[in-house]
Amino acid sequence: MAPASAMELEAPPPASASAAAAKEIKSPEVLPEPSSLSALQRKKLGAHFLESDERRFSRGCRTPLGGGYDEPPSSAAGAGGTTPVNIRGEPIRDLSRTGGWVAAFFIFGNEMAERMAYFGLSVNMVIFMFKVMHRPFTSSANAVNNFLGISQASSVLGGFLADAYLGRYWTIAIFTTMYLLGLIALTVSASVPALVPTQEGCDKLAMLLGACAPAAPWQMAYLQTALYVTAFGAAGIRPCVSSFGADQFDERSAGYKRRLDRFFNLFYLAVTLGAIAAFTAVVYIQMQHGWAAAFGTLALAMGASNALFFVGTPLYRHRLPGGSPLTRVAQVLVAAFRKRNAAFDSGDFVGLYEVAGAKSAIRGSAKIDHTDDFRWLDKAALQLEGDLAGGGEEAVNPWRLCTVTQVEEVKILLRLLPVPACTVMLSVVLTEFLTLSVQQAYTLNTRVAALHLPVTCMPVFPCLAIFLILALYYQTFAPLARRLTGHPHGASQLQRVGLGLFFSILSVAWAGLFERYRRGYAVRHGYLALFLTPMPDLSAYWLLIQYCLIGVAEVFCLVALLEFLYQEAPDAMRSVGSAYAAVAGGLGCFVASAINTAVDAATRNDAEGRPSWLAQNINVGRFDYLYWLLAVLSTINLLVFVYFAKRYKYRVRVDTQQTTVVVNNKQ
């Protein structure tokens, strides 16, 4: 009898096939160590999988195993694996009436408004807390950094809820409503005089001296509650929107890779448009009409995008949630620990366990082929004689025996970790630019001819660079790179991530060079103490070079990262996979704060009169040294990324609809 695998899909034999060779069974490569198992043990393992398939034919049904192995509802029985369903969980009979670019554009609007609100708050809330709530500037900056960090780092919560219980649609629906309520509360805070301290006698001098009436504790409590409701709203939206948009495309159709690549580019274009609106229109509204109008604009934009998202409901394709991913991960770790002393060459070794048939035991997921990475985790799927005694698959305890697919989910999550982890340094550079470059801009001339931009509008230039690059990506970079690499998309996802990290090094290195020149210019021309006075002969538009370089870095790194995580993550964990990118962004905010704190403590010496590199007077401080430190750390980070990228193997997805399995007639 030839060894068989339950990882292969059963398909009807061709009409011309002889009875002696109607089906062919491929022996799965499930060995934790190619040389550690004998041919007899390989055959035993294959025989186990064939036996599973034979049981499937005799029983005609799949057995729910519990604990993350929930069986799909009867209405979705035909929608096994990753087949899309409608909002009621029923298989979609006519896919041509749903999904595609039309459905995706309804989703783009939601992300554009969310990014507009996110960046609108990041650029305005520090000033609002400082000028209106009369908080110290450092305290205001820390509060906003915490908002930015929490809204990204807690994205794993939204991804967990989406993959485990709610699905991406309902997660977006709930959290986008929460986001809207938070923005409304912030608008009320800026509109109702009782919610802010008195502004009487609080001129510019009193503000700088800290002599303005401070906000009452309950006023700050209201503001921070509204701010963190908004942050958690963003945490539920961010990991789901890109994945939900990508779900609208049929991965079994021709040209799927090309459409997915274009989708993520357009998705990030929507993100960029939201940021541009925040750095221009929202800043203008705030300057001309006040804080209430600015926050109200963000609330109106989010309300309109929510309405647009719900209008598109009949068009959306959905994926069934697969149960708690954390539970499945915990089961693998516990089961592997329990069998840590079991050996693959023991006499009662049967094989690596997998349920029978083409469907995975995990709802919303196709089966995943076995790999040889993290071989110690294979102990969780190690089936020994007697594991299925007394009831067969019905009696399986997933805390003692897991399927190969469940084990491979954990392996994939571990393999993915180094890639988003290496993008944390890019987020650090972005965070530092958002604050430090604005301080640089205060000392520079922001006029070009008759055009005068407020300093708070300066971050719009990276967004404009991103917009331009994305718009020209398929007409410029992709064809050129395709000639050099032969890759159909110009470069692989990991190559684009690495290219983005390289451009971030160039950006921060240039920033160090220009800051050294800017500081020397201030010293030579008598502006050493005038750190809030623009130097008329030195243009702020020299900052455009570092802004454009960091924009290029974002295009290549973050767009490719989103696409990479969506395609490589397990089918039932794609929201959690997308949350990896957001968590990396949040960690970047916290790491930037930690670096600033460490640099300040290490470089300041009040006893010797030595100022910190990050002194409030930028002309006395040494921002250039900090930029070069970031360049060194980014270079080390790039080398680490290259190491992991060269070792990474992309997932191989088998088109199960076209797989032909042949069984040898010799039983």
Q: What is the pLDDT of residues 505-543, one digit of tens each?
A: 999 999 999 999 988 888 888 877 777 677 888 887 788
Residue 482 scores a pLDDT above 50? yes
The phi, psi pair for 21, rounded to 5°, reads: -145, 65
Q: Are 546 and 511 in contact (CB under 8 A)?
A: yes
Give tens-digit pLDDT for 268-303.
888 888 888 888 888 888 888 888 999 999 999 999
* 272 and 466 Cβ atoms separated by less than 8 Å: yes
* Residue 476's pLDDT band (cuts 50, 70, 90): confident
**Residue in the block written with tokens 């502006």:** 527
Q: Measure Cα distances from 650 to 43, 460, 474, 645 in Å.
A: 28, 36, 24, 10
- Domains (range + CATH), the chain: 84-321 (1.20.1250.20), 325-356+365-402 (no CATH), 416-653 (1.20.1250.20)
Confidence of residue 38 (pLDDT cuts 50, 70, 90): very low
Mapped onto helix, strand or coil, the DSSP state of residue 613 is coil
Ramachandran angles phi, psi of 72, nearest 5°: -65, 155
SS3 assignment, position 608: coil
Q: pLDDT > 70: what percent of the chain?
A: 79
Q: Quote the tokens at residue 568.
A: 């490589």
Confidence of residue 501 (pLDDT cuts 50, 70, 90): very high
Q: Residues 328-381: pLDDT tens digits?
A: 888 899 988 988 887 776 655 667 888 877 777 777 678 888 888 888 888 888
pLDDT digits (tens, 9 = 90+) for 229-255: 988 888 888 888 888 888 888 877 777
Q: What is the DSSP string of 420-448?
A: HHTTHHHHHHHHHHHHHHHHHHHTEE-EE
> Bridge partners of 24?
662
Burial of 222 (0-12, 13-18, 19+ CB in 10 A): buried
Which tokens go with 309?
A: 């998202």
pLDDT given at position 449: 61
Q: What is the pLDDT of residue 570?
A: 84
Residue 88 has pLDDT above 50, yes or no: yes
Q: How many CA atoms lie within 13 A of 428 on its CB side?
A: 26
Q: What is the pTM for the complete model shown?
A: 0.73
Residue 538, classed as helix, strand or coil, is: strand
Are residues 86 and 169 in contact, defined by beta-carbon separation less than 8 angstroms? no
- Give the range with max mean pLDDT: 266-275, 342-351, 437-446, 654-663: 266-275
Average pLDDT over residues 432-445: 78
Contact 360, 400 (CB under 8 A): no
Residue 369 CA to residue 150 CA, distance in Å, equals 36
Residue with tokens 């219980």: 165
